[in-house]
Structure 1
Amino acid sequence: MQEKYLEQMKNGKGFIAALDQSGGSTPKALKAYGVSEDQYGNEAEMFDLVHEMRTRIITSPAFDSEHIIGAILFEQTMDRQVEGRYTGEYLAEEKGIVPFLKVDKGLAELSNGVQKMKPIDNLNETLNRAKERGMFGTKMRSVIKEANMDGIQEVVDQQFEIAEKIINKGLVPIIEPEVDIHSTDKEQSEIILKQEIKKHLDQLSKVDLVMLKLTIPDRANQYKELTEHPNVVRVVALSGGYSREEANAKLKENDGLIASFSRALSEDLNINQSDEEFNTALQEAVESIYDASVNKNI
C-alpha cells in the first residue's frame, strides 16, 4: 500500500487538502464556517462540531481523487470515524485519497525571528498509531517571521531531526517551515530557507524520502531546485493567509509546486448552506485549486 501511495504522491495530478486545524486554530476555522464560540460550551463540543464540518467536506462528491491526491488530518480526526470507518481508512478506501497526520503540538514562543515547534510529546506512540490507522506520512509546522540566519537554521535543523525519526518509522514526513506572508524580508528569508533545506537534503541517504510544504515564494520558481531533488517526493504550497484567488494566481507562477491549502479551500463553505449549495461551493474551490496546481503559466 505504501508503494501505491508513494506513486500517487510523486506523480498524481492534483493537490493535497489540509484538514488539520488543531486546538488553537479550530475556533477560527469554525467561525469562518459560520459557527461562533457561543454555539459550543467546551472543547469537546468544539471538536465534535469541527469533525462534523470535516466529515461534510470529506463525504462531499466534490472531494474526489480526480482532483485531490492527499489529505492532512488532525490527530483527533484520525482517531474518529466517517461513516463507520476511521477517517484515514475512509479516505483511502472510499475516496482513493492518501492520508497524512499532523504531528506537531503547536508553536513555541518567538525567538531569533522564528517560532520553532514545541516539544512533541509521545511522538513514538503517535507514529505507531498513525501506522495502525493507515497514514502514509506526517506533517509538522514551524514559522519564520524574519530573515534571521540563526533562527532559520534552528527551524530547519529541528524539522529534519524529527523527520529522521518519522522516516525510521516507515512514514514520509511533510516538513513545513512556513514563511509569514506579512514578513518585511520574506524574499530574503526564502533564499536562506532554500539553502538550509538543500544542505539537509544533500545529507540524506538515497532511501530517505521527505515532502516539503512551503509558503508560495515571492520570486517565481525559487524552490524549483528542491522540487527536482531526488530525496523530495513532492513540494506543496500553503495558502498562508492569502485568499484563494491570490494563492491560486501565485501558485500558477511556480512550476512543480502543487497546493496544500486549508483556509483557501474552505473559505466559501458555511454550516447554513444546503447540501447542494455546499457541494457547489466546494466543487468550485476544488476545481480552481486543482487548475492552479496542474496548469502553469510557464
Structure 2
Amino acid sequence: MNTQEMTTRIATGQGFIAALDQSGGSTPKALRGYGVEDSEWSGDDEMFAQIHAMRARVITSPCFGSGKVIGAILFEKTMDGEVDGKPTADALKARGIVPFIKVDEGLADEADGVQLMKPMTRLDALLEKSVANGMFGTKMRSVIKAANPEGIAAVVAQQFEVGAQIIAAGLMPIIEPEYDITAADRVAGEDILLAEIMKHLDALAEGSQVMLKLSIPATAGLYTPLVSHPKVLRVVALSGGFSTDDACARLAQNPGMIASFSRGLLQDLRKTQSDEEFDAVLGKAIDQIASASV
C-alpha cells in the first residue's frame, strides 16, 4: 500500500486499529498477562524478544488479516523486527493493515491535573527512521486526570505542537490526550477537552489532517463534531481499562468512533494456547471489537 491507499484505508475502512505498542515500562505486565513469567527472561533484550514473539503470533494469525483490523500501532523495537521474514511494517501492509509507530517517551510527573509527555529527545531521528520503514503514522499519549482548564489546555497544545512536527516529516499523527476513566469530574473535563481540540483543529493549516485517540466519553456522542471535522482523518477510542465487553458496549453508543484497543484485544490470549485455541480466542475478540466499531 502506498500513502494514498493507506490514507483511504484508515479514512473509510470498516474495522479497528490494534494497539500493539506496549513499551519498556508496560511490557512485563503484558507478558505476565500472556502467561510469560518474569523468570522466563533476563534483561531488556530477552524481554523484548518475548513480546515480539507474542506480537508476531498475533500478526500472523489468520483472523488478524481478515480485513477487520485496518491498522496497528507498534513499539519501535517491533518496527525494527521482522514477522514472517519481512520487516514488521511490510508484513502488516501485506495483510491490508496500516502501520503506526509510538513516538512518545513516556509521561512527565502530574501537574495541574495532567501528565504531559516527557521531552522527546530523539523524535527527529525516530520520524526519519519511521518514514524509511514505510510507516504511515505515529501515536503519542498524554493523560488528563482532572477538569483543570490550564492543564487540559497544556496537554492539547503540546500534542498539536508535536503533531505539526510529525506532519512536516510526512507522517499522520494520532493525537492521544487520554482522559482517566476513573476521574470523578470526567463529564466536565471532557467538555473542556473537546473545546480545546476544536480550537487547535480550526488553527491547523489548510490541507493538514490529524487523527485523534480519545477515551470513550462519559457522555455518549460527545465527540461527533470531531468525527465530522474536515481536518480529522479518523477518531479512534482507547479501552482505558474497561473490559472488552464494557468497552465495546460503550463504543457502540458513539457512532463514527472506532476502536484502538490493546487490553481489550489481547486480554484472553495465552502463550500455552494451541494455534487453534489462540486463533479462536483472538478471532472472537476481533469480531466483537470490529462490530462495536461499525
Question: How far apart in 2 are the matches of 1:65 and 1:176?
Answer: 27
Which moves more between the two structures, 58-67 or 150-159? 58-67
* RMSD, matched Cα: 0.7
Q: Which residue of 2 is the match for residue 152 of structure 1?
A: 152
Question: How far apart in 2 are the matches of 1:119 and 1:205?
Answer: 24
Question: How far apart in 2 are the matches of 1:239 and 1:203?
Answer: 29
Unaligned runs of 5+ in 1: none
**Residue correspondences, number:** 293
Amino acid at match of 2:139: K
1:237 aligns with 2:225: no
Q: Which residue of 2 is the match for residue 263 of structure 1?
A: 263
Question: How far apart in 2 are the matches of 1:77 and 1:86?
Answer: 9
Question: How far apart in 1 are the matches of 2:186 and 2:66?
Answer: 34
1:247-286 equivalences in 2 (<5 Å): 247-286=247-286
Deviation at 1:43, TM superposition (A): 1.3
1:60-79 equivalences in 2 (<5 Å): 60-79=61-80
Question: How far apart in 1 are the matches of 2:76 and 2:44?
Answer: 15
**8 Å contact from structure 1 (residues 179, 214) kept in 2:** yes
Deviation at 1:65, TM superposition (A): 4.8
Give the fraction of aligned pairs with identical amino acids, expressed as a percent: 55
1:118-157 equivalences in 2 (<5 Å): 118-157=118-157
Q: Which residue of 1 is the match for residue 82 of structure 2?
A: 81
| 1:138-180 deviation digits (Å, cap 9, x = unpaired) | 0000000111111000100000000000000111000000001
Question: How far apart in 2 are the matches of 1:182 and 1:3?
Answer: 39
Q: Which residue of 2 is the match for residue 3 of structure 1?
A: 4
Normalised to the residue count of structure 2, the TM-score between the two structures is 0.99
Amino acid at match of 1:85: K
Which moves more between the two structures, 63-72 or 169-178? 63-72
Q: Which residue of 1 is the match for residue 25 of structure 2?
A: 24
Which moves more between the two structures, 64-73 or 251-260? 64-73
1:162 aligns with 2:159: no
**8 Å contact from structure 1 (residues 209, 233) kept in 2:** yes
**8 Å contact from structure 2 (residues 249, 292) kept in 1:** yes
**8 Å contact from structure 1 (residues 62, 282) kept in 2:** yes
Unaligned runs of 5+ in 2: none
Task: Name the SS of the counterpart of 1:140 in structure 2.
Answer: strand
**8 Å contact from structure 1 (residues 65, 97) kept in 2:** no
Question: How far apart in 1 are the matches of 2:179 and 2:3?
Answer: 30
